[in-house]
Amino acid sequence: MAVCVRQSRNNVINHVKSKMGLLGLTNLSSSLNNDHSTLSTASLAKHLRNQSSAFENKPTLYRTRRFESTKPHQRSGVHSNGAYSQFLDFPGGQVAFTPEMRFLSESPKERIPCYRVLDDDGQLIQGSIDVGKEIAVKMYSDMATLQIMDTIFYEAQRQGRISFYLTTIGEEAINIASAAALTIDDFVVPQYREPGVLLWRGFTLQQFANQCFSNKDDDCRGRQMPIHYGSKKLNYFTVASTIASQLPHAVGVAYSLKMDGKDACAVTYFGDGGSSEGDFHAALNFAAVTEAPVLFICRNNGWAISTPTSDQFRSDGIVVRGEAYGVRSIRVDGNDTLALYSTVRAAREMAIREQRPILVEALTYRVGHHSTSDDSTKYRPVDEIELWRSARDPIARFRKWIESNGWWSGEAESELRSNVRKQLLDAIEVAERTKKPPLVDIFTDVYDVPPSNLSEQEKWLRETIKIHPQDYPSDFTL
């Protein structure tokens, strides 16, 4: 999908020239060169206040934060001090020489730690968290709604009422908590397991049902297979099945927001399998070089359909790859709603204020099958699945916390689940009765004036339907 930058080519060139002096690069203060910055909201806010003056009158397109100089100090390109040259001035900054031959280890001695706020019993590990009752209850309600929606639509597919479905069971916290930390102005470029972000933003249960049943009220006009949602109104790009193709697109969106001076960022989601695609590496490098305000949120659930992470890579997960590309990164417990909320909230502020990409690796588990076309018990131990379903369920864990605060009860739980189930069943009934989109919708919204070959295809299709009406839905509008 293309991202249109609303400036003419000449305007863009003049803008770059005025900001950069053609090839000029501006270095920020060395205090921004902290590769080990924490992501706590409090420390981030303090850091940003202290650095606010550093960003005044700075170019908005390109800034190098990493090195002090890229110009050689002497013709030979080296500094001499003592018995041997100690530094080499090389593009990107000074490189120290060493007489010791030393290879970098293929992996760190210890794995990168995982940030969490709630323990397995839903209790705060330490301190307090800045999350009030209203947002906490909404997060829990939407997580439960997402779980119920997945269960009912999955059953509808098994009954033959829709052709395909894919659940988010076990990954509800990543969906809802990350969405809660964003604003509606932030553009979401999803994979296919993030319907909760749409739910949080106001996509109705009826809209979900219309899309899955591909009727005439579907925002995509029936052109996408089920669960490939999209909403221009909610700044949610339409889902594409091609793995990782959304990642470079998200960087383009973020760069457009940056050029327009918007107080917003782009957010894209992908799984561990997506990190094995070339688009992942291209996107991270693209984002780092352009310093685009984009959040890469990886749902590392241990499996790329039937391929475990042990067969995908030897690195310590996904988080360590950020440093290689110059992208600030963090690993977080993907089943801890509060940890995810605070992480994404801080990451968003960093991305926009500092104009930089952020990589978030959320460790979680896909409890459900990959899709209705998959049987995960063929390649995963059943007891492993049940462990994550029962002992590590993000919804049950978060419920314990809001109940301990007196914000939720058994009565509220029963009422919520009963109401959501009824709304969903009613929505499915309506969606099922609604007519399919007219045939002409297949050929519209691409060309202003359809080319002759497209018109010929439409004519051929109409003739085929008339000859073989038994092969097409009876309510198909010609």
Burial 364-385 (b: 16+ CB within 10 A, else e): bbbbbbbbbeeebeeebeeeeb
Quick one: pLDDT at residue 139?
98
Pick the range with the lowest mean pLDDT from 198-202, 366-370, 374-378, 445-449: 445-449
Position 96 in a domain: no
Q: Are 455 and 418 part of one and the same domain?
A: no
Q: Are 449 and 429 part of one and the same domain?
A: no
Of residues 349 and 53, the one with the higher pLDDT is: 349
Least Cα distance to 180 among 366, 402, 338 occurs for 338
Does the global pTM surpass 0.85?
A: no
Q: Is the pLDDT of residue 454 over 80?
A: yes
Position 288 in a domain: yes
Position 107 in a domain: no
Q: Are 213 and 144 part of one and the same domain?
A: yes
Q: Are 259 and 355 part of one and the same domain?
A: yes
% of residues, the chain, pLDDT over 70 = 82
Quick one: pLDDT at residue 65?
52
Quick one: pLDDT at residue 14?
52
* Residue type, position 468, single letter: H
Pick the range with the lowest mean pLDDT from 38-42, 96-100, 273-277: 38-42
Pick the range with the lowest mean pLDDT from 69-83, 314-328, 422-436: 69-83
Instruction: Specify whether 80 is catalytic.
Output: no
Band (pLDDT 50/70/90 cuts) for residue 56 is: very low
Pick the range with the lowest mean pLDDT from 80-94, 183-197, 233-247, 442-456: 80-94
Tokens representing 280?
């992942």
Q: Is the pLDDT of residue 271 over 60?
A: yes
Q: Are 257 and 386 part of one and the same domain?
A: yes
Instruction: Specify whether 241 is catalytic.
Output: yes
Domain limits for position 455: 442-468
Pick the range with the lowest mean pLDDT from 64-78, 144-158, 451-465: 64-78
Query: In the predicted model, what is the mean pLDDT of residues 89-101?
Result: 90
> Which of the residues 47, 228, 369, 370 is marked catalytic?
370
Q: Are 331 and 416 part of one and the same domain?
A: yes
Q: Rounded to whole angstroms, how far apart are CA atoms 201 and 190? A: 14
Question: How many structural domains comprise the chain?
Answer: 2
Instruction: Specify whether 371 is catalytic.
Output: yes
* Residue type, position 351, single letter: A
Position 13 in a domain: no
Of residues 248 and 5, the one with the higher pLDDT is: 248
> Which of the residues 107, 241, 306, 409 is marked catalytic?
241
Burial class (CB in 10 A: 0-12, 13-18, 19+), 93: middle
Band (pLDDT 50/70/90 cuts) for residue 384 is: very high
Q: Are 336 and 462 part of one and the same domain?
A: no
CATH number assigned to the domain comprising residue 302: 3.40.50.970
Q: Are 318 and 405 part of one and the same domain?
A: yes
Position 331 in a domain: yes
Q: Are 367 and 464 part of one and the same domain?
A: no
Q: Is the pLDDT of residue 184 over 80?
A: yes
Of residues 86 and 180, the one with the higher pLDDT is: 180
Kindly report the average pLDDT of the chain as a whole number: 86
Of residues 343 and 10, the one with the higher pLDDT is: 343
Query: In the predicted model, what is the mean pLDDT of residues 204-228?
Result: 96
Instruction: Specify whether 29 is catalytic.
Output: no
Position 277 in a domain: yes
For residue 389, the tally of other CB atoms under 10 A from its CB is: 15
> Which of the residues 214, 231, 256, 371 is marked catalytic?
371
Q: Is the pLDDT of residue 179 over 80?
A: yes
**Adjacent-strand bridge partners of 287:** none
Q: Is the pLDDT of residue 429 over 60?
A: yes
Quick one: pLDDT at residue 475?
72
Q: Are 446 and 310 part of one and the same domain?
A: no
Q: Are 353 and 204 part of one and the same domain?
A: yes
Q: Is the pLDDT of residue 34 over 90?
A: no
Quick one: pLDDT at residue 446?
87
Pick the range with the lowest mean pLDDT from 5-19, 363-377, 419-433: 5-19
Position 145 in a domain: yes
Q: Are 153 and 294 part of one and the same domain?
A: yes
Position 294 in a domain: yes
> Which of the residues 18, 76, 80, 155 is marked catalytic?
155
